[in-house]
Structure 1
Amino acid sequence: MDSISLVGLSLGIAAILLGQALEGGHISSLVQPTAFLVVVGGTLGAVMLQSPLRTFLDGVRMARWVFMPPALSHEEIIGQVAGWSQIARKEGLLVLESRAQGLTDPFMRKGLQLLVDGVEPGRLREVLEVEIGVWEAQMRQSARIWEGAGGYAPTIGILGAVMGLIHVMENLSDPSRLGAGIAVAFVATIYGVGLANLVFLPVAKKLMAHISTLATMREMFVDGIVGIANGDNPRIVESRMRGYVA
């Protein structure tokens, strides 16, 4: 559980509600289902329009990383590759074939299998780095749906406010309803700007950070595998991989 995400979101919402209360306003005045429907529904529609279905669904699934980040164990990967390096040095690369079949990560399984197959180190690095590049580009494209939502939400909020003002203008004959009507109209703007800056854009940034970390871990793995292919000393292989860990 990523506690800082939960604390940050709670703090942001609490600060806004507390500010509303300190100014003498009623928190209930910020609860407007119609404005929420306009902003969230309009933003969702715009994001779906800009994204292919698979990209959209992947981006939605990735949102759980904000509170439940993917497992990131540099030490486990370093330990595995260093162990493979020692085995390869003592018994040869073919002994590692059984290890490749037991790996659950498709990328690591492919890398180790190419190593066992005797692929030349330069070509091994080239193949795996191409796969990293394509994977990272796809992941970033999925994460950008939240960035897109952060761009659309404020504008949709303004649209909701204008719609509310149109309704107010239709009731000019009743001045007693104008103040409350205008207040309700601008709640849509609050929803749009608030969701964009408290939820959508921060979620996009956090997902990008996780993707960068995962890509670095893959690059670290590739460096270790190529070191084994070059016949480097196991301690050199481990040392190079530890250079990726902050």
Structure 2
Amino acid sequence: MNPSTLIGIVASILLLGVVLFFSADDPTLFIDLPGLGIVLIGTLAATFISYPLREVVRIFGLLGTVMRNERLYTQDDIEELVAISKLWMSGSIRQVEQALEKVHNPFLKTGVQLIIDHTPEEDVVKLMHWRIARLRAKEHAEAQLFRTMAAFAPAFGMIGTLIGLVNLMFMIGDGDMASIGQQMSLALMTTFYGILLANLIFKPVAVKLERRTEQRVALMNMVMQGISMMSQKRRPAFMRETLNTFMAEYDDELNDDESRRLFGENGKGADKADDSQPAGQTGS
């Protein structure tokens, strides 16, 4: 399991457990299955209306992606590119093809295959740019699915609260204060569930997927840079240093971007995070 995801799950469970244990005389009062059903079923129903079926059914697969500890094979890809580049510069096409059969990254394999087929560098780069843009768009849509669910959940929580308040109005005339208080607490539970699901599940999953996309795109850009250098027959040692520097600068720039989002340009707290910022690949 992904360590950060595991830490987040454990921390959230502990937080809720401690809060309920110390703040509620009876923690079971926070269990309201009808209210939870309104939020979950309503959110899923609105999501099915908003998205095609083939996209909605991917929700559980994407949750599994967030849970897995996916590795980046950046250094492996760099070493494979350098080794293949050495063979390419020696003019041994047969050895390049044999080495290419052992490559697991399909993006890298496609680029090298185009080079040994003598495809012009401009066309290779254009194709690889298109594949990067397609992956970014596809995975941005997947993250946006969870952001949409995060917007629906509190809304259906309010709907459940309004239903509870309508029932409460009918009971006011009876003058039973105990029942009125009980109905009020149950009415508020749906809002609690909606906010909890939105901010503890849906939004964090969206951010995790965006972060994963950012890493995948950076790796693909690095591979594209290596393919371009291979096409230009740059020296393998120069290629290795350039690609290592490329990924190091990516990490530095990403950290700078994270700092600006967290603390603002002048070191003060940012007013609002940019929801559209993609983040979050695994290597092959």
- What TM-score do you get using the length of structure 1 for normalisation? 0.93
Measure how far apart 1:191 and its partner are: 0.4
Residue in 2 that maps onto 1:216: 218
For the residues of structure 2 that align with 1:133 and 1:70, how far apart are their CA atoms? Answer: 21
Residue in 2 that maps onto 1:118: 118
Note if contact 1:111-1:222 (Cα within 8 Å) is conserved in structure 2.
yes
For the residues of structure 2 that align with 1:239 and 1:103, how far apart are their CA atoms? Answer: 21
What letter is aligned with 2:219?
A: M
For the residues of structure 1 that align with 2:209 and 2:155, how far apart are their CA atoms? Answer: 23
Deviations 1:159-204 (CA, angstroms, capped at 9, x unpaired): 1111111122222325131111110111101100011111110110
**5 Å matches for 1:87-98?**
87-93=87-93, 95-98=95-98
Residue in 2 that maps onto 1:5: 5
Deviations 1:205-235 (CA, angstroms, capped at 9, x unpaired): 0110011101111111111111110010001
Note if contact 1:150-1:195 (Cα within 8 Å) is conserved in structure 2.
yes
Residue in 2 that maps onto 1:128: 128
How high is the sequence identity, in percent, across the aligned residues? 21
Measure how far apart 1:104 and its partner are: 4.1
User: Which SS does the other structure have where 1:119 is aligned?
Assistant: coil
Note if contact 2:48-2:56 (Cα within 8 Å) is conserved in structure 1.
yes
What letter is aligned with 1:54?
A: R
Measure how far apart 1:26 and its partner are: 2.0
- What TM-score do you get using the length of structure 2 for normalisation? 0.81
**5 Å matches for 1:179-190?**
179-190=181-192
What letter is aligned with 1:47?
A: T
Measure how far apart 1:25 and its partner are: 3.4
Residue in 1 that maps onto 2:78: 78
What letter is aligned with 2:66?
A: V
Note if contact 2:3-2:69 (Cα within 8 Å) is conserved in structure 1.
no
Deviations 1:84-112 (CA, angstroms, capped at 9, x unpaired): 11111123445423333444443232212
Instruction: Give the counterpart of 1:237 among 236, 239, 246.
Output: 239
Higher helix share: 1
Note if contact 1:85-1:228 (Cα within 8 Å) is conserved in structure 2.
yes
User: Which SS does the other structure have where 2:233 is aligned?
Assistant: coil
**5 Å matches for 1:107-186?**
107-172=107-172, 173=174, 175=176, 176-186=178-188
| Further displaced range: 79-88 or 52-61 | 52-61
For the residues of structure 2 that align with 1:105 and 1:45, how far apart are their CA atoms? Answer: 38
The verdict on how the C-alpha distance between 1:213 and 1:157 changes in structure 2, with shifts beyond 3 A counting, is same
The verdict on how the C-alpha distance between 1:230 and 1:93 changes in structure 2, with shifts beyond 3 A counting, is farther
Note if contact 2:2-2:70 (Cα within 8 Å) is conserved in structure 1.
no
2:70 counterpart of 1:57 = no
What letter is aligned with 2:140?
A: R
For the residues of structure 1 that align with 2:112 and 2:57, how far apart are their CA atoms? Answer: 30
For the residues of structure 2 that align with 1:161 and 1:100, how far apart are their CA atoms? Answer: 60
For the residues of structure 2 that align with 1:240 and 1:47, how far apart are their CA atoms? Answer: 45
Unaligned runs of 5+ in 2: 252-284
What letter is aligned with 2:236?
A: P
Note if contact 1:69-1:210 (Cα within 8 Å) is conserved in structure 2.
no
For the residues of structure 2 that align with 1:51 and 1:191, how far apart are their CA atoms? Answer: 23
For the residues of structure 1 that align with 2:150 and 2:100, how far apart are their CA atoms? Answer: 42
User: Which SS does the other structure have where 2:58 is aligned?
Assistant: helix
For the residues of structure 2 that align with 1:164 and 1:75, how far apart are their CA atoms? Answer: 57
Deviations 1:47-98 (CA, angstroms, capped at 9, x unpaired): 2222223332334312222221333111111111111111111234454233
For the residues of structure 2 that align with 1:28 and 1:59, how far apart are their CA atoms? Answer: 29
Q: Considering only aligned residues, what root-mean-square deviation do their CA atoms show, in Å?
A: 1.8
Residue in 1 that maps onto 2:228: 226
Note if contact 1:5-1:67 (Cα within 8 Å) is conserved in structure 2.
yes
For the residues of structure 2 that align with 1:81 and 1:59, how far apart are their CA atoms? Answer: 35
User: Which SS does the other structure have where 1:152 is aligned?
Assistant: helix
Unaligned runs of 5+ in 1: none
